[in-house]
Amino acid sequence: MAEASGNRISKLESEIVNLKDSVQKSNLKVLDMQYFSLENNDDALAYFDHLKLENPSGYIADKLLETNEQKGDNPLVPYEGMQNDFKINKIKVLNHKWILTDFSDGKYWGELLIKYELKDDLGVDFTLVDHLLYTRSN
């Protein structure tokens, strides 16, 4: 009986080691994925220190989402929506100059590379740098 209990403890200890390794690998992957993000880039964040914004990335994303509010397609999307209006969905603020985002009309989707400028009066100018629209294969 003691031998069976010892084997079980040994298996559980081995499982704990494997789980710790898995968590460590996941943490490293998350850190790697966050490399290109404003909130993890102290050099880029320094450009906004004088503005005293608590969350510059969130502020910029909110300003970009405001461009969805006008009727019709988002003005930064250079395509006409086919199913509905094209609107911006996910936003990744890469640094103090660039944003990567996707857009969709519910059926079709694409991505945008946007240059932005956050001004001292907290206004934000957005300029489309490049874009793509995925084609459906069915």
pLDDT at 72: 94
Query: Which region among 3-7, 11-15, 51-55, 61-65 has the lowest average model confidence (pLDDT)?
Result: 3-7
Q: Are 77 and 131 in contact (CB under 8 A)?
A: yes
Whether residue 137 has pLDDT greater than 70: no
pLDDT of residue 91: 97
Better-predicted residue by pLDDT, 138 or 107: 107
Neighbours of 61 (CB within 10 A): 19
- Regarding pTM above 0.85, the answer is no
- Per the prediction, the chain carries an average pLDDT of 91
Residue 85 has pLDDT above 90, yes or no: yes
pLDDT of residue 98: 97
Measure Cα distances from 33 to 10, 59, 65, 76, 99 in Å. Answer: 35, 21, 23, 26, 15
Average pLDDT over residues 58-78: 96
Q: What is the pLDDT confidence band of residue 27, given thresholds at 50, 70 and 90?
A: confident
Tell me the C-alpha to C-alpha distance, in Å, between residue 122 and each of 53, 83, 116.
9, 35, 12
